[in-house]
Amino acid sequence: MTRTDEKVRYLPESKAGPESKVEPESEPETLTPLSAASGVENVLRILEGRWKLVILFHLFGGKVLRFSDLERAIPTISQKMLIQQLRQMESDGIVRRIVHHQVPPKVEYCLTDWGQALCPALDALLKWAALRDPAEA
């Protein structure tokens, strides 16, 4: 897997010229610092919020949890905030909401494949955070 810093290239359109255009199928997309930063900003927008990462960690590993299970697992979150965060994560395509039409109604939440794919990235962030020297804080 290519590191992000290896993917970023300084190729201004005006200096690259028409001969430098690369067909999308022949090579992976070349990122500029601006497009790389924009992509990371989009990811951070999706993950921003006090509770989203906590919810993600509870759902990792293919877990399917009911709303009440998440409420019990995260006792300091309000019901309103949990609903709001789950709806945002569902609209962003990270969480899947499964409605079972029965009485009483049963709703479960799990990660989509795309949401589950965040696990290695968050593991890498945890390792990166552990490298910080407490003396420098």
Domain residue ranges in the chain: 1-48, 50-128
Q: What is the pLDDT of residues 74-101, one digit of tens each?
A: 999 999 999 999 999 999 999 999 999 9
Residues 51, 57, 60, 66, CA torsion sign? negative
Above 90 in pLDDT, residue 69?
yes
Cα–chain center distance at 28: 21
pLDDT at 29: 72
Nearest 5°: the CA angle 32, 36, 41 is 145
Q: Sorting pLDDT into bands at 50, 70 and 90, what band is 120?
A: very high
The class level of CATH for 50-128 reads mainly alpha
Helix axes 52-59, 33-47, angle to 10 degrees: 80
Residue 3 and residue 40: Cα distance in Å, rounded? Answer: 14
CA dihedral 7, 10, 12, 13 (to 10 degrees): -30
